[in-house]
Structure 1
Amino acid sequence: MNWLELLPPALIAELLVLGVCAGFLAGLFGIGGGMLLVPFMTLILSHREVEASMAVKMAIATSMATILFTSLSSVRAHHAHGAVRWALVRGIAPGILVGGLLAGAGAFSLLKGQALALVFGLFVSFSATQMLRGKKPAPHRQMPGWAGQSAAGTGIGFLSGLVGAGGGFVSVPFMTWCNVPIHNAVATSAALGVPVAIASTLGYVIGGWNMPSALPGAVGYLYLPALVVIAVASVTMAPLGARAAHAMNVAQLKRAFAVLLYGLAIYMLFKAFSG
């Protein structure tokens, strides 16, 4: 089977648009773009006659795999501005690796359901409200030590692996709550997207190793043709999003991030109540 059969022109166009939007959002907010990719990838796969529950899982896994490339591109741009807190990356990343593997290799097929979506949606709504209110965190509050950062990383990696997102929807509010400036939180979250993607994607490969391919070009839960197209487009756009983030002032960036979180919360609550 040749690439034209794997990727007809209409599908390439759809995936390129998705990749461009996801890459820009990844650079702007440090989120990886997964929450944009997952619903649209699910729709695309469903139209290709992939069974509904399998389409969702393939969309999540493929989205997470693209985050590896997007995050690498995004973090280079943020690092050029000196915004990445590498000490925090070293403290949080080990927990992320553990949480992502646990989610991708096991809980991905067992725990994804209405209760998780409901809790997730409520948590994100609370985070967005706190950010939109602009209430300053207690001045004495700081990032926890190594153990606390590892525990936070485990939670971030686990949630990210379940929903196919880069972790910024949790890590950015968490870091700003701990008095990390918003620009540094976004940049550091972009760097954390790399271990999130590595651990979760490895877990998806392990979990889907013996599965029959749902589509030509699919390997377990991963849809490789879509991964290639989206990665190319998102890597191109992520640095532009990062530059836009550093051009915005703190209030603008917080408001924009809060609006994005509300959209994410609405989507997750819809999934919870629609079954």
Structure 2
Amino acid sequence: MPSWPLDQVLPLAIALPLVGIAAGLIAGLLGVGGGIVIVPVLYHVFTVLGLDEAIRMHVAVGTSLATIIATSTSSWRSHARKGAVDRDLLRSWGPFILVGVAIGSLAAGWVKGPVLTGIFAGFALLVSLHMAFGRPEWRLGHSLPTGAAKAGLAALIGGCSAMMGIGGGTFAVPTLTLFGTPIHRAVGTASAIGLIIGIPGTIGFILTGWNAAQLPPFSLGYVNLLGVAAILPTSMAAAPWGARLAHSLDTRLLRRAFAVFLFLTSLRMAYGLLN
């Protein structure tokens, strides 16, 4: 187990609560669980601290999923009070999302770190382009799919989200809007999907990383408890602020904010992969 010098741990303890504030705001504002910020920041922090490249991305993803449990809970409650959570959709999609999360968590435990980095960067870029240049009137259908298509779509959202360490909003928000769901209701529902992803995803990354070599101090598998403890308090406090802000913004601004964060995240992760 690598040792982190005190002069490195102290800046980390100061910086990560600030990351938590940003993650909480984004979780409430965009329904993405904050992972879109936490994963790349943790990845670069672990790089500076010299964490083995073979597990660096795994620990960033696993730690992010653990924080998503709390931030999504806080964000979901705030959106639910405003009536922006589709509970029928959650009951219908929930079991298939869980299947996808199980598959994604197991797959992530087997693939190499650079592969996870590439997956994160690639999907983030695609979704950001859609949110930036897509038009509100674009539709794949007037209602969400049913039957096998519904099961496959929900499982895909769960699996990809678990592998990337993000809440379901990154995929759920554009998917729901393409099938006619208003953006604010899509964001509110996605915050609850993040909770469905976060709990089993965290368990999966703990189990798949239990015997991994060179884990950082205070880790349960691929979940670093120091990172979770530093980020959670501020992210939970900030999530309701973001949820309130989301209901005071117009649709265009909300879409642009979502696109900017995803695009910047993609660039940062691609840069790390290439270098």
Cα deviation 1:6-28 (Å, max 9, x = unaligned): x9442221110111110110000
Q: Which moved more, 1:258-267 or 1:26-35?
A: 258-267
| Distance across 2 between alignment mates of 1:138 and 1:39 | 31
| Distance across 2 between alignment mates of 1:158 and 1:266 | 22
| Distance across 2 between alignment mates of 1:157 and 1:172 | 13
| 1:152 alignment counterpart | 153
| 1:257 alignment counterpart | 258
User: How far 1:164 sits from its partner (Å)?
Assistant: 0.9
Q: Is contact 2:108–2:163 with CA below 8 Å preserved after alignment?
A: yes
Whichever residue aligns with residue 27 of structure 1, its letter is: G
| 1:20 alignment counterpart | 21
User: How far 1:268 sits from its partner (Å)?
Assistant: 5.0
Cα deviation 1:35-90 (Å, max 9, x = unaligned): 21112112222333311232221111101110010000000100110110111111
Q: Which moved more, 1:236-245 or 1:248-257?
A: 248-257
Change (3 A) 1:270 1:125: farther
Change (3 A) 1:77 1:121: closer
Verify: 1:233 aligned to 2:234, yes or no: yes
Verify: 1:127 aligned to 2:130, yes or no: yes
Verify: 1:91 aligned to 2:92, yes or no: yes
Match runs of 1:35-54 below 5 Å: 35-54=36-55
Aligned-residue CA RMSD in angstroms? Answer: 2.5
SS at 2:247's partner residue? helix
SS at 1:247's partner residue? coil
| 1:189 alignment counterpart | 190
SS at 2:15's partner residue? helix
Q: Is contact 1:20–1:236 with CA below 8 Å preserved after alignment?
A: yes
User: How far 1:228 sits from its partner (Å)?
Assistant: 1.6
Change (3 A) 1:78 1:149: same
TM-score by length of 2: 0.88
Structure 2: 5+ residue runs without aligned partners?
Answer: none
Structure 1: 5+ residue runs without aligned partners?
Answer: none
| Distance across 1 between alignment mates of 2:237 and 2:139 | 39
Q: Which moved more, 1:47-56 or 1:111-120?
A: 111-120
Cα deviation 1:73-116 (Å, max 9, x = unaligned): 00010011011011111122212111111111234432735764
Task: Give the share of equivalent positions with the same residue, in percent.
Answer: 33
TM-score by length of 1: 0.88
| 1:63 alignment counterpart | 64
Whichever residue aligns with residue 151 of structure 1, its letter is: G
Change (3 A) 1:45 1:265: closer
SS at 2:123's partner residue? helix
Change (3 A) 1:206 1:139: closer
SS at 1:253's partner residue? helix
